[in-house]
A and B are shown apart, each in its own frame.
Chain A
């Protein structure tokens, strides 16, 4: 192994800590913090914001700034995942599963510290891996062909099989539904449209982040609104800062293993960042002796995905820098930034710009340290949100979610999808269908279909002559065996016994029929397409129908199988005592998009907030007006800052209004 490149490490560090580099790095980190805290807006928006200013800048400071921006959101997006149950991005939805329950138990402080320290270790691990990637990256990447990519995806799917919830048939059906939603839009092989009804919005599929927000955030908000006064319930805010630190030390091997998972998955082609957190979570569950607390607030469920998500940043940079192939949108913009400052990624990076690569590595490491430090400083004030009456927090969160969702495609389709997924997610949560399974299926769908098609086309049966592919397949088989034998299954959908859940069995069966109708509709729609475009969705639809039928027969027979007949609203959990009926709260949620549809986003959300605070939260007109004005101002600034857009409403169609009204 030729490690002569290491001689550049120390000079690069000296360059970074002297001169303007550090200032730019700090600026990037600060900006990255802000963008990370906002749900579903991350490094991508940040880099887009600074790109125009890179022209004429020296490469060093420009790089430091971009790395700061790209690296920190994975740390700071933990705030919303843990404190308010809103995934900071599609990749951090796994943190919600145990992070939010910890907040509800009054352990927000512990969860946050544990998350930040594991993020720090993960980030440093990623930087460390990157510094050796010079030598090993190219041979490894060259060994991972389409067949190996396929096997890796299958391996990831078997790993996350742990997360199907209490009932296996319902869990697998949820995963198949996610896979099916992922097939909406242009077919990989032929470009044919599937289930798009001629709309351009659906031609590129439903954005992952919209589904993550709809399936996780909206149901959690509705639930807390209905059942509690504060997020943290009656529990005091708690101290636990030291405890969180101790949790990381106690689980240091888990942190390192998950960091390894994150770095490797970031580096390998064909996986996509969305799945990293889930695989790390599944690994944490699989290797834990006592699995009973997962889904209810086990700190290991926070540590795993958080260390992996940060380590992934280092891994992501490997194909971006050394091959010029960006692994996600943020990295694609990072590439643009490199070009703007006169650096060409690819082979030349390894041979001619080792000093630059080390500058990037050190920037990554220091950005992670700074990000962690700032996050811990901010944690105390921000964590107080769990002790504010939730009815005052909820409307802000709702508006933020709808705003974030609209930024993914700037199309009304985003808002409609969010609402539909939100309502379905609400019932999935209540009736015990795995939302994690749904999201994992969606994350994997495109990659799985593409890898299957490419492997079949390039290798056919010769696939089984590829040793590396066979090794990965062997590991996958082993994982599947372990998963099937596992007695406990993690569920983020709560607890309820079949006996208690019996009264609403007809409603549960009705929901199942709705799911069947959706599957049948997609199957019918794609059946006109060519073989290559329909073989994958039809196979998945077939599997989905099998699992749904198994679950349906069980319900008709009033089976006592765990989690089959399930209604979280009828559990004996003391939390649900005093919970209010569902329907008015759904109307409350739907009132926001309705208001936006009439008045446009800015005016619509401002009016909604005012009415909510005044009439629902029963605050004074003055209080409501001041808060409303602050929100309006905030959005006004945001739009200017990140070039965001407001959804137009009926009002804007009728009259031409000045910004921000129009």
Chain B
């Protein structure tokens, strides 16, 4: 009897010791963690990182200081190259990836020196995408009519560029048989202004601007939505975006136009882009080779961050688009799909860039 008491006490002490040991193992007390954001101070990635960093500081063991280091250049290549070259796998350097990081990697740009697939993600933030067009150009909001109308009347599109963040939306337009007159090298904010001035007739935005900027223009009849990229539900199926349940997805329109669902290499490219643009629109990663205990510490911390009341505030929800945040295995799976592309799909993407947009 006495024996079992002692055993129980020993087990109890051992358990206590092990948690103490665990806490000692990963403890960021007095440490400074550098979060590399590969874009400028005002970009979406920077907003996203600055929204999350203070909460992550509080949830990581030892309450470290997180400083955000904006390293711009070459799309996002310079910052992430530096991350890959410099970050030690000790959890003290982390990075924010954005869609551009994936595109530069997949398109095989010469400057890319980072092993994208080896990074260990602990948060993926999805952002929906909606494309829309001007009613004064002749668009009505009836998808069948609008697609046909755009096939027959070439619209002006103002944006970043087909090899940049605009790629998925422009690929969609092409899948629907719509040719556009592209004007490139223009930021999202400026593009929307050009659209409001009527200089472009179709445009797109991510859902963060829906409530404040886009919805009023739909309400007053200036514009109609054309399609969304869709949304991936828990079963992995692409369904309508929860923000805009009345707007068709790109694959739905494809079926209307072609009479059959998207298939083959086109489907593969679409899914890959979907993963990049929607599932991993903003991703936070640890460097390759980070030990499991550190990874688990981050995973647990970010789960608590995502559940924090601050992130449920209307402003934060606007910034996160109201989408469920991907943590744990969801983040790992999403990142894997987004960073690997089959040779066939890559060839199709290269062909598309060359044939439609004359880009090698």
Contact = CB atoms under 8 A, between A and B. Distances in A.
Interface stretch (A249-257, A344-352, A570-578): A344-352
A200 B41 contact: no
A145 B190 CA distance: 11
Contacts of A329: 40-42
Contact of B74 (A188, A204, A347, A457): A204
A269 B192 CA distance: 13
Contacts of A189: 184-185
B164 A344 contact: no
Given A52-B54, A200-B74, A188 B315 contact: no
A142 B198 CA distance: 9
The 5 closest A-B CB pairs, nearest first, are A332-B42, A188-B185, A342-B315, A325-B189, A200-B74
B213 interface: yes
Contacts of B184: 188-191
B156 A324 contact: no
Interface stretch (B45-53, B142-150, B242-250): B45-53
Given A44-B41, A48-B41, A201-B73, A339 B193 contact: no
23 contacts: A51-B50, A145-B197, A190-B184, A191-B185, A200-B81, A203-B74, A269-B190, A269-B193, A324-B189, A324-B209, A325-B192, A329-B41, A333-B41, A335-B42, A339-B319, A346-B212, A347-B213, A409-B72, A450-B186, A453-B185, A457-B156, A458-B158, A458-B183
Contacts of B163: 191
B12 interface: no
Contacts of A539: none
Interface residues of B, number: 53
B199 interface: yes
Contacts of B40: 329, 332
Interface of A: 44, 48, 51-52, 55, 141-142, 145-146, 187-191, 198, 200-201, 203-204, 269, 323-326, 329, 331-333, 335-336, 339-344, 346-348, 409-411, 450, 453-454, 457-458, 530, 643
Contacts of A188: 184-185
A200 B42 contact: no
A203 B216 contact: no
Interface string B21-33: 0000000000000
B68 to A, nearest CB: 8
Contacts of A335: 42, 47
A454 B209 CA distance: 24
Contacts of A347: 212-213, 216
B243 to A, nearest CB: 16
A452 to B, nearest CB: 12
B78 interface: yes
Contact of B183 (A324, A342, A344, A457): A457
Interface in B151-187: 156, 158, 161, 163-164, 181-186
Contacts, number: 123
A534 B77 CA distance: 24
Given A198-B111, A336-B47, A323 B42 contact: no
B74 A346 contact: no
A458 B199 contact: yes
Contact of B111 (A203, A269, A336, A411): A203
B355 interface: no
A606 B181 CA distance: 56
User: What secondary structure prevails in chain B residues at the interface with A?
Assistant: mixed
B194 interface: yes
B108 to A, nearest CB: 15
Contact of B199 (A145, A336, A410, A450): A145
Contacts of A204: 72-74
A269 B50 CA distance: 27
Contact of A343 (B71, B189, B315): B315
Contacts of B189: 323-326
Contacts of A51: 50
Nearest to A204: B73
A336 B46 contact: yes
Contacts of B111: 198, 200, 203
A145 B186 CA distance: 13
B239 interface: no
Contact of B41 (A55, A141, A336, A346): A336
Contact of A200 (B77, B161, B194): B77
Nearest to B161: A191
A348 B318 CA distance: 13
A454 B183 contact: yes
Contact of B42 (A190, A336, A348, A410): A336
Contacts of A343: 315
Contact of B110 (A198, A339, A341): A198
B137 to A, nearest CB: 14
A139 to B, nearest CB: 11
B345 interface: no
A318 to B, nearest CB: 13
Interface of B: 40-43, 46-47, 50-51, 53-54, 67, 69, 71-74, 77-78, 81, 110-111, 156, 158, 161, 163-164, 181-186, 189-190, 192-194, 196-197, 199-200, 209, 212-213, 216, 310, 313-315, 318-319, 358-359
A269 to B, nearest CB: 7
A52 B53 contact: yes
Contact of A410 (B54, B71, B186): B71
A51 B74 CA distance: 26
A336 B51 CA distance: 9
B69 to A, nearest CB: 7
Contacts of B67: 643
A342 B314 contact: yes
B100 to A, nearest CB: 11
A141 B193 contact: yes
A198 B358 CA distance: 21
A326 B42 contact: yes
Contacts of A191: 161, 163-164, 184-185
A203 B42 contact: no
B73 A409 contact: yes
- Identify which of B81, B111, B185 gathers the most chain A CB atoms within 10 Å of its CB: B185
B41 A332 contact: yes
A341 B53 CA distance: 15
Contact of A344 (B158, B190, B315, B359): B315
Of the listed residues B47, B50, B182, the one surrounded by the most CB atoms of chain A closer than 10 A to its CB is: B50
Nearest to A449: B185
Contacts of B71: 410
Q: In the complex, which of the residues A323, A333, A336, A341 has the most CB atoms of chain B within 10 Å of its own CB atom?
A: A336
Given A332-B42, A454-B186, 15 more contacts: A51-B50, A55-B310, A142-B196, A145-B194, A200-B111, A203-B111, A323-B193, A325-B193, A332-B40, A332-B41, A332-B43, A335-B47, A336-B46, A347-B212, A450-B185
Residue among A269, A341, A458 having the largest count of chain B Cβ atoms under 10 Å:
A458
B36 to A, nearest CB: 11
B271 to A, nearest CB: 25
Among B78, B181, B183, B186, the most chain A Cβ lie within 10 Å of the Cβ of B183
A586 to B, nearest CB: 30
Nearest to B69: A643
Contacts of B213: 324, 346-347
A344 B78 contact: no
Contacts of B310: 55
A454 B191 CA distance: 11
Contacts of B161: 190-191
Contacts of A340: 50-51, 315
Contact of B315 (A44, A339, A450): A339
Contact of B197 (A48, A142, A332): A142
A458 B201 CA distance: 11
A23 B282 CA distance: 37
A296 B300 CA distance: 65
Contacts of A52: 50, 53-54
A340 B68 CA distance: 15
Nearest to B198: A145
Contacts of A187: 185
